[in-house]
């Protein structure tokens, strides 16, 4: 079992979606995440173990990305391989047989249409074992509040790429904290700093997406 789960983790870290996938070249013609996940379930391996394989693989590529040893394209193909596995275990996730660590609501704040950073965070956090609810871009404060109301105990992530929308991030964070003082809010984006995070009352900031998963894991430990 451990060998099969490790193979899945390798496929996710390297972005090997399925047998016909040409990437990476050294794994050409070999089974990918799709086939390995199907085989694992056929052998009676619990879906929880497949989710662990996803987490292992995304953890590896996330660390490489944070250390500048991988690029956005690597994260994208890894996400594709991860989604190939999640497709097989989706029924178990929906039935509750496989438990997620928690729910993470994420969106780019009002007035900001940039989503690359948000999407990268979503990929890594999904691979970390969390259910991600992506609200998209240009998200008004009331949409964050309404979604939080539907998912008690969730975490929230806000993204901004423009200095002109940092004020909107501050407005959303303060409104969320006023309504849900115990909720953990993570913020990120090119103009964001630790000082800004502290000043507006958010709980966590890092320029390293992998740090966000580590922070969430400490919160649920």
Residues 62 and 9 in one domain: yes
Q: Domain containing 128 — which CATH number?
A: 3.40.50.280
Q: Domain containing 20 — which CATH number?
A: 1.10.1240.10
Confidence grade of residue 80 (pLDDT, cut at 50, 70, 90): very high
Q: Is the pLDDT of residue 65 over 90?
A: no
**105 bridge partner residues:** 133, 156
Give me the domain span that covers residue 82. 2-95
Residues 42 and 107 in one domain: no
Higher pLDDT, 71 or 66: 71
Q: Is the pLDDT of residue 66 over 90?
A: no
pLDDT in tens, 98-114: 889 999 999 999 999 99
pLDDT score of 98: 83
Q: Is the pLDDT of residue 1 over 90?
A: no
Residues 126 and 209 in one domain: yes
pTM score, whole prediction: 0.82
169 Rama class: left (phi>0) / alpha (psi -120 to 50) / beta: alpha
Average pLDDT, the chain: 93
Residues 182 and 215 in one domain: yes
pLDDT score of 168: 97
Residues 124 and 201 in one domain: yes
Nearest-10 crossing angle of helices 72-95, 2-14: 140
Count of structural domains within the chain: 2
Confidence grade of residue 78 (pLDDT, cut at 50, 70, 90): very high
Residues 69 and 176 in one domain: no
């Amino acid at each position: 079992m451990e060998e099969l789960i490790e193979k899945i983790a390798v496929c996710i870290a390297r972005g090997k979606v399925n047998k016909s996938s040409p990437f990476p070249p050294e794994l050409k013609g070999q089974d990918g995440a799709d086939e390995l996940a199907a085989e694992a379930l056929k052998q009676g391996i619990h879906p929880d173990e497949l989710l662990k394989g996803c987490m292992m693989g995304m953890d590896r590529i996330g660390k490489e990305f944070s250390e500048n040893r991988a690029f956005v394209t690597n994260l994208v193909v890894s996400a594709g391989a991860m989604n190939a596995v999640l497709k097989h275990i989706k029924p178990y996730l929906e039935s509750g047989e496989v438990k997620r660590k928690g729910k993470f609501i994420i969106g780019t704040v009002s007035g900001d249409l940039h989503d690359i950073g948000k999407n990268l965070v979503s990929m890594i956090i999904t691979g970390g074992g969390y259910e991600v609810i992506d609200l998209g871009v240009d998200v008004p404060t009331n949409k964050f509040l309404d979604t939080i109301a539907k998912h008690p105990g969730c975490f929230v992530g806000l993204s901004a790429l423009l200095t002109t929308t940092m004020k909107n991030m501050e407005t959303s964070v303060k409104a969320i904290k006023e309504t849900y003082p115990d909720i953990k809010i993570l913020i990120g984006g090119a103009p964001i700093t630790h000082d800004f995070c502290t000043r507006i009352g958010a709980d966590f900031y890092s320029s390293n997406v992998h740090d966000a998963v580590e922070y969430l894991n400490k919160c649920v430990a």
